[in-house]
């Protein structure tokens, strides 16, 4: 059972909503931009920080769990893995969204990996 202690939600995160897909002059897709949709407090736990081989070099992958209240009903567009989140000066790619407990109040867990400005794993 997940412990609902509000004192554990001390990390400030911002959910970043992706722009709607648009076509460019040649018919391809324009790059996606992300805008701040909602800022809230979360519980943050580090899942792993591992070194992975990435195109001939080793990189450190920072993956974390972010637990927040289930705010999906407050958003204009559905929260999914196309969204990003900003925390502590880094942008994170959301890998998975999981409903933690099926009793009120509801909480969801976002599993996310830090990425750099061009979308590569940090």
What is the 3-state secondary structure of 48-97? EEEEEEECCEEEEEEEEEEEEECCHHHCCCCCCCCCEEEECCEEEEEEEE
Residue 72, pLDDT score: 79
- How would you class 121 by CB atoms within 10 Å of its CB: exposed for 0-12, middle for 13-18, buried for 19 or more? middle
Count, residues in the chain: 122
Residue 46, pLDDT score: 80
Residue 58, pLDDT score: 59
| Exposure letters 25-41 (e unless 16+ CB within 10 A, then b) | eeeeeeeeebeebeeee
Residue 102, pLDDT score: 75
Tell me the whole-structure pTM to 2 decimals: 0.79
Domain regions of the chain by residue span: 11-20+30-115
Residue pair 49/61 in contact (Cβ under 8 Å)? The answer is yes
Give pLDDT tens digits for 57-72.
655 667 889 999 888 7
Residue 1, pLDDT score: 47
Rounded CA separation 68/51 (Å): 28
Structural domain 11-20+30-115, CATH architecture: Beta Barrel (2.40)
Within the chain, which residues score under 70 in pLDDT?
A: 1-4, 6, 48-61, 117-122
Token readout for 44 is: 């943050």
Residue 15, pLDDT score: 95
Residue 28, pLDDT score: 86
């Amino acid at each position: 059972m997940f412990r609902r202690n509000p004192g554990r939600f001390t990390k400030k995160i911002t959910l970043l909503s992706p722009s709607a897909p648009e076509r460019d002059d040649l018919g391809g897709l324009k790059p996606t931009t992300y805008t701040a949709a909602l800022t809230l407090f979360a519980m943050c736990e580090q899942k792993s920080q591992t070194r992975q081989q990435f195109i001939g070099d080793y990189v450190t992958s920072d993956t974390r769990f972010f637990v927040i209240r289930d705010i999906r009903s407050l958003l204009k567009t559905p929260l999914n893995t196309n969204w990003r989140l900003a925390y502590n000066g880094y942008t994170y790619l959301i890998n998975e969204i999981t409903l933690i407990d099926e009793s009120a109040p509801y909480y969801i867990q976002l599993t996310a990996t830090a990425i750099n400005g061009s979308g590569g794993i940090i």
